Structure 1
């Protein structure tokens, strides 16, 4: 016999779990379940990022990313403090290593201030005061950036949701979705579930889940692998906190940076190379279905034509440790190839439009409380890459708002 729920959340990463947490807080007694195909939660993007609580300095003023990152960073620090989750507000440097980067650094300072973020401009001596081993012509210090244990945050969302009555179903894969007049039927690896509203927080598979439910998301997830090294333990003293280059404004990746983690390790990276599978954490992992989906999508080819020079550089650094080391030495001259030890990679779920443009902001689809004609019974989170972990509390509230409005709207 099928189990019945008011809301069924698909995806047990930090966004799905924050949504579940928000739903239980907003509507006590709600019949809620969370599906996760892996045996544990936070197995992919949440568990494989650099652990940075982003300040919001990079994002376009007025965008969801800017609003949710600045709001979410402060909330997340307080949440970690209340729940006893390891965290630290370390601050970070953004460093220009060449004169051509100075205009970009100035633009970042203006953008940060427009987003209400305290920004301190630094000369080389100012950079050295924070990071004695880092080289640069000029820099910014962002005091509100921090680090935390994001898998622990996600597990805490899960625990609090479960304690409030949510049913958590790890090891349960969604296989088919059927719409009914009075709700949605989800066929899973553990049997049939019925719900009034289905919420898609499937991350790397969010576009597939949307299509499975009969919606055309208009975008495809194109996976980009971020490959990391870490500093050998005896060389961790070279980096005190977080050090970033000036990013390329045309691409949503922040470049190779240095990140001291909450447990003392220092990550170096990531680069950004096309992954050959949506969960392809190395070059050996190839999934023909994933690869065919990417290659068949016109936006992938348009994206490649637009950014091929950038991507050639990323591929070079992926295949050559010497090239990767050279990139790091622009920020940290004392580092050598021998200091860099391979670390776990991550894959970013980047939504790409048919014209080859990269979705720059968080994106939702399905039921919209402000559009009575929008799709009923379904809510999709179509684009939630970094800084989604930082912004997980406000994102969860927004998705919960849409889900509860869909529930109230009925058929």
Structure 2
């Protein structure tokens, strides 16, 4: 499977075209809309989430509630576009409109793509950069991920996420017995945290940052249960599934690090406290006594829960902006200010779910016959039975 996205933050719409989804898979708009709505929640979101009520239109690739095997086109309209038609319009400007949109953004924000993108593409007006290098693009990444999550769910693979740290406040009382329980608890939390004490402290940290004109980041964790063992490959670097998942996490706006299982803690432990002992029983076949490696060995799934964490830096748009340099005058100035969140970590957890789901679904599509969904489901069932009896 593959997908492309298109659209600017204040353009008319965001679009994704998805290729490779098997024919005959049940899919309706609500499967996607529920994920889009989850992305818009979270304590610390800015005014943009009050303007946009994201819903998807399925423009192709689905008929009567089932996929056709042809490309799927999904569109999410930007409600705010009506206020930006001249600033972000596609047609050349009329003389009477030039003054209205004359002001260019020439003061890049530290930590954003503004300056590097302007250098790369030769844009003197850095709005041409920031409109695309915006977290708004993750709207249709979540839409694509929702399609992947639907495929996984129909194959018995469940995925959830939660926030384990915001602004230095760490969740310590993380208790859940199933993916369903984790999903239920996080949906009830304004910061997607299952620790009720840490939840309140995280919300206070977000409020303090907002009051100070600042922003804070955090760490999210994605958990997946039900993946068959042996998905991915050890034979080449670019076929290792954990490497693809890591790349997907770091590709999310503002994410700067990733780890699996105990992650960097493995550097401080002996091998006997890192690797997962292999066990076997008649009912389940092979499994692991622990899951310190987060569901991956040798670039392949082990059948244990996949546990992956991503580190999100604070959003670079600050209401007390850092110093920058005007690219026109070369004089020092405070960086430009765009409407922004003080903390988007809870929403980023949903984006991370989608990113991980896409890579796992893609790996399954690559490994098994996938033109027809019924045949794919049959093959996955047979493979699970084979692995259990191996």
**Shared topology, TM-score over 0.5?**
no
The TM-score with structure 2 as length reference comes to 0.27
Higher share in strand? 1
The TM-score with structure 1 as length reference comes to 0.26
Say which one has the larger Rg. Answer: 2
